[in-house]
Amino acid sequence: MARELGLSELPDGLGIMVRFDGPRSLADLTSAVHTVCAEAESRAKPTVVVLSFDALSADCREWPGKVDVQQVNRWERAVRRLERLPVVSIAMLRGTCGGPTLDLLLAADFRIGSSDVRLLLPVNAEHFWPGMAVHRLVQHLGVARARQLVLWGTDIPLEKALDLGLIDHVDDDTDEAVRTAAILTGRVSGREMAVRRQLLQEAASAEYDDALGAHLAACDRELRRLRGLTGDLPVAVTERP
């Protein structure tokens, strides 16, 4: 089943990859995402998950096809599971990509694209698909920039994707770029990655006083980690009025 879903091992044991190399049904895509998540969660040692999108056709613009809302709900839950994985996720894009690409791209931690990348936003009969990509776009870009895409956007060329931060790195040798990124990002522990994601997401909406507790808890965990490495206790500093 894993091979049928395009699941494979990365060289040197760096992680696992799932390939989205052609149009698939929403049910197949949901199954593929859950399969790669289950595989990553079952591994005892840290790993990296790579999502590979290879020149999907423009037909993928009509997304998600003839489905019901229960199927959409299952898909959204699969993407959320990927987004919360205790491992680093990398999206790798080549050529023109549409359909589910935007959902999975926004859920990934690091995004690599070839020089000919172009994103097709999901539009059905001239209406933007109102999935959770809208929510993630606002979280990533803010309301003003997301508004331009949701209300008036059609395609996102590479230059704009870079400017918006939807693509982090451009390299036509995407396989080597993924290998380098897997080595570098794989050094981040699953727990640390989860903390970083949480703090970033909460910073977009939480007030200072509400966010302070989460940041202090994260600081406390980091101080304990440092004490474990050095055996030293931090020096208490008395605040002056």
Question: Domain containing 84: what range?
Answer: 7-185
Residues 110, 215 within the same domain:
no
Residues 194 and 16: their CA atoms lie apart, in Å, by 19
Helix (H), strand (E) at residue 184 = helix 174-185
Domain count, the chain: 2
Residues 217, 175 within the same domain:
no
Which residue type does 106 have? L
Establish if 235 belongs to a structural domain.
Answer: no
Which residue type does 174 have? T
Residues 154, 100 within the same domain:
yes
Residues 76, 24 within the same domain:
yes
For 174-190, the pLDDT digits (tens) are 888 888 877 776 556 56
> pTM above 0.85?
no
Residues 90 and 92: their CA atoms lie apart, in Å, by 7
Establish if 131 belongs to a structural domain.
Answer: yes
Ramachandran category for residue 231: left, alpha or beta (phi over 0 → left; psi -120 to 50 → alpha):
left
For 57-114, the pLDDT digits (tens) are 545 667 888 888 999 999 999 999 999 888 889 999 998 888 888 999 999 999 999 9
Residues 154, 214 within the same domain:
no
Establish if 239 belongs to a structural domain.
Answer: no
Establish if 1 belongs to a structural domain.
Answer: no
Write the CA distances from 74 to 6, 53, 69, 240, integer angstroms: 20, 21, 9, 54
